[in-house]
Amino acid sequence: MTTEINEQEQEKTEQASVQRSFAAREAPGTLYLVATPIGNLEDMTFRAIRTLKEVQIIAAEDTRQTRKLLTHYDIQNRLVSYHEHNREASGPELIRLLLEGQHIALVSDAGIPAISDPGAELVRDAVEQGIPVVPIPGANAALSGLIISGLPTDRFLFVGFPPRERKGMNKLLDGLEKESGTLLFYESPHRLKKTLAVISERWSGRKMAVVRELTKRHEEAIRGTVTACLAHVTDNPPLGECCIIIEGTHSQGAGSQVSGEPDNDQWWFSMTLAQHVAHYEALQINRKEAMKKAAVDRGISKRDVYQALLETSDE
Query: Along the 315 residues of the chain, how does pLDDT read in single tens digits?
Result: 555 556 666 655 678 999 999 999 899 999 999 999 999 999 999 999 999 999 999 999 999 999 999 999 999 999 999 998 898 899 999 999 999 999 999 999 999 999 888 899 999 999 999 999 999 999 999 999 999 999 999 999 999 999 999 899 999 999 998 899 999 999 999 999 999 999 998 898 899 999 999 999 999 999 999 999 999 999 999 898 899 999 998 643 333 344 444 454 567 777 888 888 888 888 888 888 888 888 887 777 788 787 778 766 655
Among 203, 206, 201, CA closest to 308: 201
The CATH class of 23-139 is alpha beta
Residues comprising the chain, all counted: 315
Inter-axis angle of helices 189-203 and 273-281, nearest 10: 50
Three-state secondary structure of 90-104: HHHHHHHHHHCCCCE
Distance CA(274)–CA(306), nearest Å, equals 10
Among 236, 234, 173, 238, CA closest to 206: 173
- Name the CATH superfamily, with its identifier, for domain 143-314: Tetrapyrrole methylase, C-terminal domain (3.30.950.10)
- Is it true that 23-139 and 143-314 share their CATH fold? no
At 14, give phi and psi (nearest 5°): -95, 0
Please state the domain extents for the chain: 23-139, 143-314
What pTM was computed for the model? 0.75
Among 237, 248, 48, 45, CA closest to 146: 248
